[in-house]
Amino acid sequence: MKRIIPFILLGLVLCSFNISAQKKEPVTAINGKQVAAGEGWKIFRLYKDAKDKVTLFLAYQESSVVKITAGTFKAWIKIKSYKKDSASTDYTLISYQVKCKTREIHTSQIIEYMINGKKKNNENPDAEFEEVVPDSLDEDVFIAICDEYDK
């Protein structure tokens, strides 16, 4: 019995360490793998499938957030997909502008970076602001930027 007690204590210590490590797991650990959003990028939204696997993440580049006028901000958003059907696109960068007071959003540029190293650039600087649609990717962007910067 005396020989078993140290092993039981060691097991309890290791078990409690594993539980506390799981609670402090960084948001960049996705589906059991470390994911680098990139230096200066803050992940603010994870989308999961029915099996609780992350299929998509959204991040904003903290240095890109610019106050244009009171309550209006511009920011670059990174979208990274982990779905099997998105094999051709590595990630997408989108330039957003948000008006926090009126719940409006505007996309001026979308750049898709392909796995093969090529990129697609779509610019639409003259697009008008639109109302933020509830329960949408745009609303996630709106909330992340306005909650953090419109104080």
Does domain 28-149 fall under CATH 3.30.420.40? My reply is no
- In single-letter form, the type of residue at position 74 comes to K
Distance CA 118, CA 67 (A): 31
The band of 82, judged by pLDDT with boundaries at 50, 70 and 90, is: confident
| Mean pLDDT confidence for 43-48 | 83
pLDDT at 17: 32
d(CA 9, CA 144): 44
Query: If you average pLDDT over residues 89-94, what whole number do you get?
Result: 87
Report the mean per-residue pLDDT for the chain: 76
